[in-house]
Amino acid sequence: MSTTQVKTKHILAVLSGLIVILGVIWAAAPGYIYSRAKAMEAEGNHKAAGAYYETLYTFFPRAEETGRAIYFAAQQELHYYSPGQKPGYIYIFPTARVMSGDPERKLDVEGAIEKLETLRDRFPASPFALHALRELGKAYYILHDYENAVHYLNKSIIESNFQAAESTLLLAQIYFERREYQKSLDLLNRSLQKEPGMDPLKMMELKGIALAALGRCQAAEDVFKMLPVKAAEIFNKHTFDMDAKNIRMNVEHWEKVSQTHLRRVQAMQLPQREKSGIAGRVLLKDKGLSGVEVYLIDKAVEEGHYTGSMDHLPRAITGSNGGFSFPDLLPGDYALAVGVPVQRVKGHVMQQPNQDIQLKPGQTIQRDLKFVPKIKLGESFF
């Protein structure tokens, strides 16, 4: 055998070995990249995690891990949004301020929709394709495209054999916001018959609100009275991952939710002359701010000043002139909180945010919430 033939065989053997090694590396790469992305996500480094996800669906478009990567990359964008707290908003309570997310971060909701549609197209058999329906519904809800939101949420519910509790809750919320109260109620009743995990509490709450909106006050009261009972039943079943203190805190939260709604239903049934109310405007200097969230805190329910969850608080959105109102209230002590995009009030502070409002029977009080420029004294702002 000639030297040339031997060298050729060695070269071919080396090349074959390299091809095999590269093939093994290529096959293992998606799993490694995906694990690094999840590690970065666990550390809170969402930017790095996003870069890993991007690598996966750019270079390994058909790998199994890519389906998961597409889903979690899209979910990252939507994770920062919730009806309770929106990214880039500052929430000003009587004794505290809460910043929600990064004010400089902009949600790429359209990008998330494109990823989720890609997932549905490339990986139709993946369980993440089913989860993508819920996230698509949420994405279109964020964009106020209720037609598409309803379409995808309905599809999520049907394809999950009516087990998609989160999709059910959001769809019922959309029906409620569109004043389709009976439709919301029917959907909630159907889902509650299936005992949907930890979601019965939120579903029961929305059911009570829908009943009240339909004028069925006694039925609404019955639902709200059952909330803390159901909460105690649910949380006491989860003692394996909750200590007694956390169980008690969760049950107390739902007791407050129950009391808040019961007082609102009670006020609805008062004669008109005995109903109290609060109205006002949110002002930047002297100009009305539209689209600001104003929350009502009932001091008969909340001890001291409120700094907790906002999900159950009555909420009003200011109109074009910055106006808001909370009619049909019981007499008593109240406070107000606001949620506003921080960029809209940059360089301003709210005047006297911690003043309580005392309502007498039949009284409506005007209370404006004013943002005024900060005053700089030396190196500090006041």
259 and 113 in one domain? yes
In Å, what is the CA distance from 7 to each residue of 1, 2, 19, 20, 194? Answer: 10, 9, 18, 20, 72
Retrieve residue 332's tokens: 């008593």
DSSP secondary-structure letter at 289? P
Q: How far apart are CA 265 and CA 272, in angstroms?
A: 14
Q: What band does 27 get if pLDDT is binned at 50, 70 and 90?
A: low
For the four alpha carbons of 303, 307, 312 and 318, in that order, the dihedral sign comes to positive
On whether the CB atoms of residues 311 and 209 are closer than 8 A, the answer is: no
Its domain, for residue 345, covers 277-381
**Domain match, 294 and 225 both:** no
For the segment 85-125, what is each residue's pLDDT rounded down to a tens digit?
566 778 888 766 665 545 455 567 888 899 899 889 988 88
Q: CA-to-CA distance for 336 and 342, rounded, in angstroms?
A: 18
More confident residue, 374 or 191: 191
pLDDT reported for residue 95:
67
Q: Distance (Å, rounded) from C-alpha 77 to C-alpha 79?
A: 6
What mean pLDDT is predicted for residues 255-272? 92
Coil/strand/helix, residue 280? strand
Is residue 14 in a domain? no
Decide: pTM greater than 0.75: yes
| pLDDT attached to residue 208 | 96
Residue 11: Cβ-neighbour burial (10 angstroms; 0-12, 13-18, 19+):
exposed
The answer on 282 and 267 residing in a single domain is no
Judgement on whether residues 158 and 287 belong to the same structural domain of the protein: no
Amino acid at 354: N
Would you state the pLDDT for residue 322? Answer: 94
Please, what is the angle between helix 127-142 and helix 64-79, to 10°? Answer: 20
- How many whole angstroms separate alpha carbon 376 and alpha carbon 382? 6
Q: Do 307 and 233 belong together in one domain?
A: no
Query: Given this model, what pLDDT does residue 382 score?
Result: 41
Q: What is the C-alpha end-to-end distance of the chain, expressed in Å? A: 91
The structure tokens listed for 122 are 């490339």
Confidence of residue 377 (pLDDT cuts 50, 70, 90): very low
pLDDT at residue 258 tops 70: yes
Asked if 196 and 310 sit in the same domain, the reply is no
